Structure 1
Amino acid sequence: MNIKSLLLGSAAAIAAASAAHAADAIVAAEPEPLEYVRICDAYGTGYFYIPGTETCLKVGGKVRTEGEWYDAYNPSSRVGTLWHERVELNVDTATDTEYGPLKTNTIFRWEWNDGNATSAKLLFANISLGGFTVGKLDSQYNLYMGYAGDVVNDDVIYDGPYELNQLTYNYDAGNGFTAVVSLEDSYSTSDGSASYGASWWTDDKSNHYAPDAVAGFGYKVGNWGFKVVGGYDSIVEEGAIKARIDAKFGAVEAFLMGGWNTDGDKLNKYAGTNQDVSACTTSSGTVNAGKCGWGDWALWGGVGVPVNDKLKWNLQLAYTESKIFEATTNLKFNPVKDLLIEPELTYVHYDFINDDTVAGILRFERNF
């Protein structure tokens, strides 16, 4: 073998070894592409897609601290100053389906009061699809009507039940006409106790299965709106009807609402009372239902007047056939976005016990 052949053979061997080594080299994997949070604007501000899904999520809530001076709901109260805090966490979801948006609404609430008294509860939890809603929510007797004014103590003159389980259908024709039909839990009360009158909590409910019922309709055109709603208490077998007119005059908002009780001598869930029962008792200790509740009818009215883009003044007046008069006024001040400072003053006169109550609130609230 000559030198030339040896050199060519060695070069071929080295080249083959280099090729084999290159085939075994480790190549770094490409990084997975990052999936950024996508904004979901189909259902309003604040929604975003849960990564890897087509479900939109919105998280919000509030932190509130407020002081109260006396109790607008209890003429017997002699407590001076109370202070308490509230935190709420709101979680909403929405997914598009062939039947429209599938939504959920959940609100958790935690509270701390003077004396280290704490409480926590599931305020709302409901599912909605195609106009139907099932779960816990304020009664449609209040929610559909828009409550009773832009004040904290809007229900000193009782305007109906709040948190309860329900099966509801809401209809919106898209031309200003709306309607609602709701079957509601006949055992629910706004605070979990029997607070609507003697007949409500003394009746034997062991064999009672029927739900309460609410139905209403409304029409809005331009700056004017009208709604009427009725509620039937299946335990007391009585109910109430409310009718409301809303109007706008430029930036000023005003409303007038009236309620009629089917039997003014009885309390029921839809024409009951928020007042301390001890203030509505006779000398023998029995509850005077007609005087403690509306009697046959009740009236509410109010105005909201924007002073500027940061300040609004509200007034609510209410009166009942049982001669309870209430006036509440407040200022809603938003020095910066999502921060509310709200001083409020309430005056209540009870003709049947010849007593007056003056109560105040100073509220600080941060929404997010």
Structure 2
Amino acid sequence: MTMKSLLLGAAAGIAAIGAAQAADLPMTKGEAVEYVKVCSTFGPGFFYIPGSDTCLKIGGEVRAYYRLFGGDNFSRNDNRSAFNAEGRIWFDARTQTDYGLLRSYFQINAQSHPISAQGRDNVTSSNTFSIDKAFIQFGGLTAGYAHSFFGFYDNDYGDTIYAPYYNEANTVNLLAYTAQFGGGFSATLSIEDGRDHRVNGTVITGTAAAQGGQQVPDAVGQLRYDADWGAVAVQAAGHQFRTAESVGAHSNKYGWAAGGSLAIKIPAIDSGHFVVEGQYADGALDYLGAGNTWIAQSDYFVSHGGAGPLDGGKGWSITAELGGNITPVLNANLVGSYIDTKYDGIFSSGSDGQIKEFTVAGNLTYTIVKGLKVSAEVAYTHGTVDGATIVSGPFADQDKYSTWQSGIRILRSF
């Protein structure tokens, strides 16, 4: 017998012994693998959280901004150009229950060196993190930090890149219930934190009163009708304003606001739409979007140069937008907005103060590939102050101002 035959025989024997021992071992199944399943109930992007019947969607954006500013009274301390970046991420969890949809939504934004509306922030570095939304919905109930139910333009449209517009644009702490009546009709009653609806500060001649603590939250109501052709809504709000302890003449008053919104779809244009929203307010200037103006305003003043009673500001504002897709990859929007606010008898002479401002903006957005867009926008703002002059800021000692801004935004969504 040769050496080769001995080796082959030994190998065959070892293999036979191994096979016999393996046959005596108990049979076991592999661990079950739970794969992530697509949830198509709520649209694309949702998946089932393993081990549950809850569908989750995770999304986000990265935005890069490049802006230029010009107009009246820019000094060496002001920025004529400014760059910043922003990251957004959100989580949308939904569960269909026997009592209706249970949903929770959370979004957080992070910015590197945020740019103010006027671009005048000359700080060299500053990173911020902020909660954009955090709310729970169950059936018709909405609870948490969500967009105010006064109006719908800012929440449903608001298609400017940088430019301001003047209407309710705040995310607020609220508790709301929306009843659906069928046929597109709905009604919402929302109790909202009045501190989120304040407008503080003034840069016109007069004595702005310090805000007191909140006693009564804001009450907001809206009636809305949605149809194939668009949507229409009417809304109203009540708002308390009261002086702080430091103000000698203690006062407690209530303001209000009312408005209407209309959106019309344009079938001849892909995603074509025309939207207009207007409102009037007395003692509740946040609902006009007064906090978005280029010069700071206040809910109220102590009239007659600080010697008289508390008097809330009043006025009206309107915003309109026309937009749609020019081509499958090119979107265009034109937005115009105007605000007119008045303060009665705020000066020692008893005269009134009035601020008027308008902004016109146009932008184009080009989709390079799915999920990647680049936008360009130009905006012009002009304002006047009647019966007073601006006492601080870049427009001090003036009664009018004009500014413009332009820029590019690169956006990656996922």
TM interval, short-chain normalised? 0.7 to 0.9
Mapped pair 1:150 → 2:159: yes
Sort the Cα spacing of 1:246 and 1:234 in 2 relative to 1 into closer, same or farther, 3 A: same
RMSD of equivalent CA atoms: 3.2
Say which SS state the counterpart of residue 52 (structure 1) adopts: coil
Aligned-pair CA distance for 1:148: 6.1
* CA distance 1:226–1:274, change in 2 (3 Å): same
For 1:69 and 1:222, locate their aligned partners in 2 and report how far apart those are by CA, in whole Å. 40
**Aligned residues of 2:150 and 2:235 also touching (Cα < 8 A):** yes
Gap change, CA 1:195 and 1:168, over 3 Å in 2: same
SS at match of 1:235: strand
Structure 2 counterpart of 1:40, one-letter code = C
TM normalised by structure 1 equals: 0.80
Classify the secondary structure of the residue corresponding to 1:273.
helix
The equivalent of 1:204 in structure 2 is 212
Q: Does 1:173 align with 2:193?
A: no
CA distance in 2, matches of 1:53, 1:71: 55
Q: Is the CA contact 2:153–2:261 (under 8 Å) kept in the aligned structure 1?
A: no
SS state at 1:269 partner: helix
Cα separation, 2, equivalents of 1:75 and 1:323: 21
Q: CA deviation at 1:112?
A: 0.5
Q: Give the CA deviation at 1:319.
A: 1.8
Residue 234 of structure 1 aligns to a residue whose secondary structure is: strand
Moved more, 135-144 or 348-357: 135-144
Aligned to 2:12: none
What is the rounded CA distance, in whole Å, between the counterparts of 1:84 and 1:33 in structure 2?
48
Equivalent of 1:242, from 248, 259, 270? 259
Highest CA radius of gyration, 1 or 2?
A: 1
> Structure 2 length as normaliser, TM-score?
0.71
Q: How does 1:61-140 map to 2 (within 5 A)?
A: 61-70=60-69, 78-113=78-113, 115-140=124-149
Distance 1:367 1:48, change over 3 A: same
Match of 1:17 in 2: none
State the Cα distance separating 1:152 from its structure 2 match: 2.4
Matched with 1:221 is 227
Q: Distance in 2 between matches of 1:135 and 1:325?
A: 33
Contact 1:326 1:347 in 2 (8 A): yes
Check conservation: 1:343, 1:361, Cα contact below 8 A.
yes
How much does 1:139 deviate?
Answer: 1.4
- Aligned mates of 2:375, 2:210 — CA distance in 1: 40
Query: Does structure 1 retain, via aligned residues, the 8 Å contact 2:377–2:408?
Result: yes
1:297 positional shift: 1.5
Counterpart residue number, 1:51 = 50
The count of corresponding residues between Structure 1 and Structure 2 is: 329
Offset of residue 97 of structure 1: 1.3
Q: 1:228 to 1:267 in 2, by over 3 A?
A: closer
| CA deviation profile, 1:205-241 (whole Å, cap 9, x unmatched) | 1xx3311111111223332421111222223621222
Kindly provide the amino acid, as one letter, of the partner of residue 67 in structure 2: E
Aligned residue for 2:133, secondary structure, equals strand
C-alpha separation in 2, matches of 1:100 and 1:33:
32
Given that 1:225 and 1:246 are in contact with CA atoms closer than 8 Å, whether structure 2 keeps it comes out as yes
- 1:182 alignment counterpart: 190
**Percent of paired sites with the same residue:** 26
- SS, match of residue 42 in structure 2: coil
The answer as to whether partners of 2:167 and 2:278 remain within 8 angstroms in 1 is: no
Which position in structure 1 is the counterpart of 2:16?
Answer: none
Could you report, residue by residue, the CA deviation over 1:108-156 in whole angstroms, capped at 9, with x for unpaired residues?
11110172210112221111101101011121224577466421246x2
* 1:255–1:349 CA distance, 2 compared to 1 (3 A): same
Separation (CA, whole Å) in 2 of partners of 1:66 and 1:325: 24
Q: 1:363 aligns to what?
A: 409
In 1: Cα distance, 2:183 partner to 2:357 partner: 39
Report the CA distance shift for 1:95/1:32 in structure 2 as closer, same or farther (over 3 A): same
Matched, 1:37 2:36: yes
Aligned to 1:255: 275
Partner SS state of residue 150, structure 2:
helix
The answer on whether the counterparts of 2:199 and 2:285 sit within 8 Å (CA) in structure 1 is no
Distance 1:181 1:71 in 2: 43
Change (3 A) 1:161 1:318: closer
Does the 8 A contact of 1:145 with 1:228 survive in 2?
no
2:333 to 310, 314, 333: 314
For structure 2, list consecutive stretches of 5 or more residues without a partner in the other structure.
Answer: 1-19, 114-122, 243-253, 307-311, 341-354, 386-398
